[in-house]
Structure 1
Amino acid sequence: MRRWRSESGRPAALARLFAVLAGRLLRAVPLLLCISFLSFAVIQLSPGDSAEVAIRVNGMRPTPELLAETRARLGLDRPFLERYLHWLGQALQGNLGASHTDGKAVTGELAAALPPTLLLAGTAACIVLLCSVPAAMLSACGAGKLPDLLLRGLILLGTSVPAYWAGLLLIWLFAVHWDLLPLGGLDRPKC
């Protein structure tokens, strides 16, 4: 029993757990920096001009003077690394900036989208639990029999199909073909 305790009387396993968690958190910082840099680079280097999009969305015709003014206002005329470091500093303070098209704060837009996202994720988790627990019980009770083999085949098919393709097929089936669910928004089911 003595070997499981550290000198201070705390369990050694708890101390090891905190050491492992601290190590993983420290290793996550460079990874998160790399992900943020690559995401920023992909967005900034993607084809199209953010200034032109911002002008066209607001119903104006882009002129060279208006494009230069918009680029300066949005900070798009500064060097790439300077823009990234400015964005990173602001993001670490909780300021994700404003939308280039309508000028709304990104944090406000994310906060508005959070409740429907959580509702969707929670509903999906409930559906998965309601389907997977009985399926697992059926599969366990009849291991190697026809229901088990059919369930395994369905699971293999479900994991093999890309999520975006399955999503499009389910939208088509439930919203277009059967007209049971709305195509978008938070409307109630039609059934």
Structure 2
Amino acid sequence: MGGRTDALLRDRDDGGGPHACFPKAAFTFTLECDLPAPEAWSRVADSERHGVAVPFTNVSGPKPENLRVGSRLVARTALGPCGFDDVMIVRAAEPGRLLVLEKVGRVIGGVVDVRFTPLPALTDARGMTRPVSTGGVRPDAPSADGGNELTRVEWRQTIAVPWLRGPLTPLGTFAATVASPLARRGYERVVARVLTGVGGGA
């Protein structure tokens, strides 16, 4: 499935998706959490958790157990009368392994590819399981501890600006490039909060 989703990302970026011709940028980040991969996947796929974690935003969509290819999610961000919809379509859903969403709204486009990898339950010097953290696996973790399960969450995302095109394409390219590091930091914080149990009845 990995090869097909890589192809999807290439197709959506370079010629196959509704925003393929629009200015775009990309970013990635990695988080580690002390959850088994199926639970980490379920939390990331839970629209209610994201709605609680993102200010001024309500996310509607199927429960994680009901997500299927073609499922539709809508994140409505609004402050007073002003707002916009971030519309997403599920392109791949493999619980515990993979989640791919395509953003097809008028304001924000792109593809989100999230992969979940089980890790050995490494502990720190005090014998405590690592909390959610950014970056790769810590090479200085001294030993394995079979009492807990850890998961690496790898988030890859492209950003398209569908409303800046034609004569405004250079501006759209600039906007996508500037937005990429800001979006990365924002998504990283939100996903960390989702994984640590904010919202969703955790």
Asked whether the two chains share a fold, i.e. TM above 0.5, the reply is no
**Higher percent of residues as strand:** 2
- TM-score, normalisation: structure 2: 0.20
Rg larger in structure: 1
Higher relative contact order, structure no. (Cα contacts within 8 Å, ≥ 6 residues apart): 2
